[in-house]
Amino acid sequence: MEDEIKAEFNNSGFTFDKEKEILQKCATFCINFKLTPADLVSSWEIYYLNRQINGTVVEDAEMDGFLGYLQSQQKVAIDEKELDLHIYSSRDVDMILNDEDEDIREDVLGTPPPFKSQSHYSEPSDSTPQTIGNISSGKPSKLTTPFGQRTDKLVVKFSINNKPNTENREKEDDNENHEDDDIIRKVKPGKRCSLIVHGSGPDIGCRFMYDRTEDRFNALENRISKYATALVSSGQYEEPLDPTVSSQKIIFTVGMIYCDGEGHLNEKSTLLQSSAENSGGQRVRIELQNLSQFSIFPGQLVGIEGINPSGHCFIASKLVDSIPLPIADDANLPPAKRQALDQEILSVGVSGTQPELSVIIASGPFTTTDNLLFEPLRELLAYASKTLPQLLILLGPFIDSEHPEIKKGTVDRSFDEIFRSEILRRLQDHVEYMGSHARVVLVPSIRDANHDFVFPQPAFDIHPTNLRHQITSLTNPGIFEANQVKIGCCSVDILKHLSGEEISRNPKDGKLSDRMSRLANHIISQRSFYPLYPPAEGIPLDFSLAPEALNISLIPDILILPSDMKHFVKVLTLGERGEEKEQVKCICVNPGRLAKGEGGGTFVELNYYGNPDTSNASITGI
């Protein structure tokens, strides 16, 4: 075969720089993609022209890009086959379900009577038909991928069971009873959840990269001032004083932690910058030796008690790194801060019922690194079609700028075209199949190649036809409310960034704290989705764009923080509230990544009942 490939290249006027290596790779391509040597060379000529490669020498360095091109061409061929399918309308399905006259059915549908399905949702493998939504094409795929050949599918890796999930159990039993039904069937209507978006973020199409030094100064100064005001308003602390002035008296001050130098923060390089009003923005070194425990990082707002006998070093005796966060009353929020997406909102005070919500949470990438078939996303939607959650929350990246084919530029479609055909089209098919009760929330990522590279980030500019109330895009970060359950989410990996910058000391009694819970607690105690400053390398933080978009104005019941670190679901204790000292808690979720390398990742399924202590959650491998 290698000789035939060489002859075809020579006939087309091409030579090689590393003949042996290139011919071996080309022979592998012919076998994997079932191409003849002539077909392979024809594909190379198209790739050669599209890439505008100079000269007629086939270089080994171009083989990876050529492989990506062949993969994309094979995927286009698969999509073209799927386009020949009849897309069933609701009227078609009604006719089949009602067993109307078979002649009429054949006239309308142009297809034989419905067939039996082996399973409720399909796996993308050699023996499994490709599907549109849950409607099978009946045509097996010729493409075999590592993801399709995996053996561990839908394995629960971790779970929290605080209350029997009777509603979901009934759904599962109902699905089991219908396993032998026709694959084309109606989904039983579920309970549609309400949805309200809180806060304000950058507008779609906003201008960015206009961040000035003045904007940064004002944003940081406002953070310090608001933090100081909140501490004083609690009645537990005095008005903050200037920590840079020498004094033998114990004083209370408020400021921001900085690092003295460009390296990582340590106990000897810790500085405190107070507000411009108190200290003119001057910084002073902090001595932490007398503190039994602490957890600090650059950009953290703290209240400190101590003395500064020399004027050069503030000796801390007490450190306050959090303040009580009030649960906001919806009636007190400005109208501009609320965007009601429907008229189904119920008041707790009126109904007296506890908030309940079933949700599936997943974070990108949504396709494996060896192709752009988006198999993990297809599997997730099939699973959601079976379990019937009220809400599906998907966080970017959707079109990952770190994907090998995206980075190399070997795709033959624009990023927007990929997003609309591979993501939006699938989601539209999903909600149309599921019915009007299905809702999907999309949160972008700074790694999305088809979206603005800025943080905070505007929502996707999507306008799904007749599905505006079912597919919703939020800003990044964002806070919204579903069935009175408050949910905060941020797709930037703040946990990983904090983990690399935080320093801590455990109490002398030797009781170790859970590090991931401690890092997640910082997000809420600092009232910011991204409290780290300066930001991590590669984070396009822009203070000219709605700095309040980073603020956490209320305690979320569920906090979603996707991270490359290990997946988890944790119940955070945030403090006590009121005279009865009621504990305020929050469920923090890191769903992991839906796709990892060439294999599957994880997602989270959560059923919220009233409060975090009576809710269920599980982490499942796709």
Nearest Cα to 517, choosing from 565, 479, 469, 465? 565
Q: Mean per-residue pLDDT for 56-63?
A: 87
Same domain, yes or no, for 409 and 289? no
CATH of the domain at 294: 2.40.50.430
**Within a domain: 467:** yes
Is 173 among the domain residues? no
Phi first, then psi: what are they for 171, rounded to 5°? Answer: -65, -40
Instruction: Please check whether residues 382 and 305 belong to one and the same domain.
Output: no
The whole-angstrom separation of Cα 438 and Cα 190 is 8
Count how many domains the chain has. 3
pLDDT at residue number 418? 95
Which one of 41-55, 505-519, 601-615 scores highest in mean pLDDT? 601-615
Looking at the structure, tell me whether residues 296 and 369 fall in a common domain: no
Region 459-484: mean pLDDT is: 86
Question: Are 416 and 523 in a shared domain?
Answer: yes
Higher-confidence position of 265 and 93: 265
DSSP codes joined into one string, 365-378: --S-TT-S--HHHH
57 part of a folded domain: yes
Phi, psi of 540 (to 5 degrees): -80, 60
Same domain, residue pair 404 and 301? no
The parent domain of residue 44 ranges over 1-82
Q: Which residue has the higher pLDDT, 111 or 326?
A: 326
Residue 489 structure tokens:
């989410």
The span from the CA of 117 to the CA of 182, in Å, is 7
Say what the pLDDT of residue 482 is. 95
Do residues 361 and 316 share a domain? Answer: no
Query: What are the pLDDT digits (tens) for 169-190?
Result: 444 444 444 443 333 333 445 6
Angstrom distance (rounded) from CA 256 to CA 266: 15
Q: Is a pLDDT exceeding 70 seen at residue 123? A: no
Spatial separation of the C-alpha atoms in residues 399 and 445, rounded to whole Å: 9
In DSSP terms, 362 is beta-bridged to: 394
- Between these two residues, 469 and 295, which has the higher pLDDT value? 295
Residues 6+ away with beta carbon under 8 Å from 142: 34, 126
Instruction: Confirm whether 118 is domain-assigned.
Output: no
More confident residue, 61 or 547: 61
The tally of CA atoms less than 13 A away on the side-chain side of residue 507 is 5
Nearest Cα residue to 296 out of 563, 552, 525, 548: 525
pLDDT at 142: 52
**Residues 591/157, Cβ–Cβ less than 8 Å:** no
CATH code of 366's domain? 3.60.21.60
Task: Identify whether 365 is part of a domain.
Answer: yes
Q: State pLDDT tens for residues 522-574.
A: 999 999 999 999 999 999 999 888 778 899 988 999 999 999 999 999 999 88
Beta-carbon contacts of 446 under 8 Å, excluding residues fewer than 6 positions away, are 453, 454, 455, 457, 476, 491, 492, 539, 540
**Is there a single domain that holds both residue 426 and residue 555?**
yes
- Please indicate, yes or no, whether residues 472 and 593 belong to a single structural domain of this protein: yes
Give the helix/strand (H/E) hosting 213: helix 213-233
Which of 43-52, 160-169, 330-339 has the highest average model confidence (pLDDT)? 43-52
- Final residue in a domain of this structure, among 305, 320, 335: 320
- The pLDDT assigned to 464 comes to 65
The reported pLDDT for the residue numbered 353 is 67
pLDDT band at 328 (very low <50, low <70, confident <90, very high): very low
- Residue 249's pLDDT band, with cuts at 50, 70 and 90, is very high
For a pLDDT cut of 90, what percent of the chain falls above it?
50
Q: What pLDDT was estimated at residue 394?
A: 98
According to the model, what pLDDT value does residue 437 have?
87
Judge if 517 and 584 occupy the same domain: yes
Chain CA centroid to CA 596, Å: 14
Q: Model-level pTM greater than 0.85?
A: no
Residue 270 shares a structural domain with residue 382: no
> Do 415 and 399 form a contact (C-beta atoms < 8 A)?
yes
Q: Which pLDDT value is given to residue 207?
A: 85
| Domain final residue, candidates 40, 63, 82 | 82
In this structure, is residue 71 part of a structural domain?
Answer: yes
Q: Terminal CA-to-CA distance of the chain, rounded, Å? A: 39
Pick from 575, 568, 556, 569: nearest CA to 615: 569
Domain boundary among 82, 104, 137: 82
Q: Does the pLDDT at position 82 exceed 70?
A: no
Q: What angle do CA 533, 536, 537 make, to 5 degrees?
A: 135
How far is residue 497's CA from residue 455's CA, in Å, rounded to a whole number?
Answer: 15
pLDDT in tens, 585-613: 999 999 999 999 999 999 999 999 988 98
- Span of 352-361, 504-513, 532-541 with lowest mean pLDDT: 504-513
Average per-residue pLDDT for the chain: 81
CA torsion through residues 12, 15, 19, 21, sign: negative
Rg of the Cα atoms in the chain: 28
Residue 411 dihedral angles phi and psi, to the nearest 5°: -80, 150
CA distances from residue 612 to 143, 267, 453, 486, 581 in whole angstroms, order as listed: 44, 36, 34, 12, 17
pLDDT band at 257; cut points 50, 70, 90: very high
Give the residue, 370 or 179, on which the prediction is more confident: 370
Residue 407 domain-assigned?
Answer: yes
Note whether residue 469 is domain-resident: yes
At 349 the pLDDT is 32
Amino acid 50: pLDDT: 75
Same domain, 251 and 388: no
Q: Calculate the alpha carbon distances from 541 to 34, 262, 563, 582, 612 in Å.
A: 48, 19, 18, 36, 32
Of the candidate ranges 120-124, 201-205, 377-381, 589-593, the one whose mean pLDDT is the lowest: 120-124
Supply the pLDDT for residue 190: 65
**Domain co-membership, 451 together with 566:** yes
Tokens at residue 490, please?
């941020």
